[in-house]
Amino acid sequence: MESFGSGDVKVDASDRDGGMKPLPRYIMSSVSWRDTMANSTEALHSALDSFRIELPSWGFADTGTRFGKFLQDSAASTLAEKFADAGQVHSLTGVCPTVALHVLWDLPAGTDLKEVQKLSHQFGVRPGSINPNVFQDQEYKHGSLANERPEIRKKALDHILDSVELAKQLGCRDLAPWFADGSNYPGTANIRRRKQWMSDGLKTVHKALDPTQRLLIEYKPFEPAFYHSDLADWGMALLLARAAGPQAYVLVDTGHHYQAQNIEQIVAWLLSENMLGGFHFNDRRYADDDLTLGSIDPYQVFRIFAEIRHYEWETGKPADIAYMVDQSHNLKNKVEAMIQTVMTAQSLYAKAALIDHQALEAARNEHRLIDAENCLKDAFETDVRPELRRWREKHGLSADPLRAFRESGYTERVAKERAGRKKSAVSYA
Ligand SMILES: [Mn+2]
């Protein structure tokens, strides 16, 4: 079996220098290999013990593209069904105790919150981040908090403030509003004035938070606005978060970047500014494709985790980051896709936990570029699956959650129960 981490990278610098003839490789590695092995296994298990990831309610519903929506008999459409599906993923993986709720789709006006708490007890998953949506209604054609018309800004603000109340009543910490504010043609919007309106709105929202709550500000370069987006990048989100107040942080959605943008650098900067609130994880090939995490570029996700782990190693404290999934699975079975996502996230996080930060830092400082790069590559290329299986078994979970799910017959059962319902191919949720 492969060791976790590379043997000879661990050798002291004193063994390398001093004009001594290098020790034969097998002698150097025979001692450090065992140490590395033990330490790395421990690091991997303790990283997995601390790793949690939130599931999105909308990831279990029928979704589609701008071209159409594809319906699945087993897709969830009620809140109870979304809780049931999220509960499946959590019971099989053990690391998804919360489910993100979308206010308009999951908690429409008049929802009895006691019922939500009941679902939570019944299915073993709690409400997580609360996501107000200020783009779906007709009035939001030209934006919400940054709209030129005061009555529309007020409508948007009222919805977000109502969402803060909901979050308080459900005991949820994070509020993550979805904005689509922007314009489609040059000259049609006063960008500076809209920035001010957005900032004023976010400040008012911040004032309504409990001391324990957080406002997460998400950015996106384009779509649905194709000329300018009012919250287009991490710098804009950072400035608006700072202006809003100390409980506002930046939310990084991995799909919300231009091609080739260095996301882990953004992560490093936000960590350094203590402004990284959380992630919406997904993968992309072209733009905001909402593909399964790690399906296109797992090394990208690993590099993000590597930055976070290095920050934690340097500061000696865990980073308080909300890891959340933001994906829609319009072709894959939704529960299976979510289990696959969670397993991939765990695997990439476990790999990042194998990085030898001491060796990495030493190599960086001595400009040993290949050694530094290989600290990342050695960890990334380690097969962590056997250890993940051991970790799952240690916690009374199935070693293979996807297989366990398939063998449970859950999809077939709920497909029968849910198939008869008239399904809408129109709305997103
Ligand atoms: Mn998102």
Q: What is the pLDDT of residues 350-405, one digit of tens each?
A: 999 999 999 999 999 999 999 999 999 999 999 999 999 999 999 999 999 999 99
Which residue pairs, CB below 8 angstroms and at least 24 apart, start in 389-396? 391/44, 391/45, 391/48, 392/94, 394/45, 395/94
pLDDT over 90, % of the chain: 86
Q: What is the CA radius of gyration of the chain?
A: 23
How many angstroms does the Cα of residue 277 sit away from the middle of ligand 1?
13
The least confident of 39-48, 117-126, 212-221, 349-358 is 39-48
In this structure, are residues 241 and 278 in contact, taking their beta carbons and an 8 Å threshold? no
Taking a 5 Å cut-off on Cβ, the residues next to ion ligand 1 are 253, 280, 326
Both structure tokens of 206: 């911040």
How many angstroms does the Cα of residue 88 sit away from the middle of ligand 1?
23
Q: How far apart are CA 136 and CA 147, in angstroms?
A: 14
In this structure, are residues 342 and 301 in contact, taking their beta carbons and an 8 Å threshold? no
- The pairing of beta strand 276-281 with beta strand 248-253: parallel
Mean pLDDT of 24-40: 52
How many angstroms does the Cα of residue 38 sit away from the middle of ligand 1?
38
- The C-alpha torsion from 105 through 108 and 112 to 115, rounded to 10°, is -10
Task: Report the pLDDT value the prediction gives residue 64, as an integer from 0 to 100.
Answer: 83
Per-residue pLDDT for 111 more than 80? yes
Task: Report the pLDDT value the prediction gives residue 8, as an integer from 0 to 100.
Answer: 35
pLDDT level of residue 425 (50, 70, 90 thresholds)? low
Per-residue pLDDT for 102 more than 60? yes
How many angstroms does the Cα of residue 71 sit away from the middle of ligand 1?
22
pLDDT level of residue 419 (50, 70, 90 thresholds)? confident
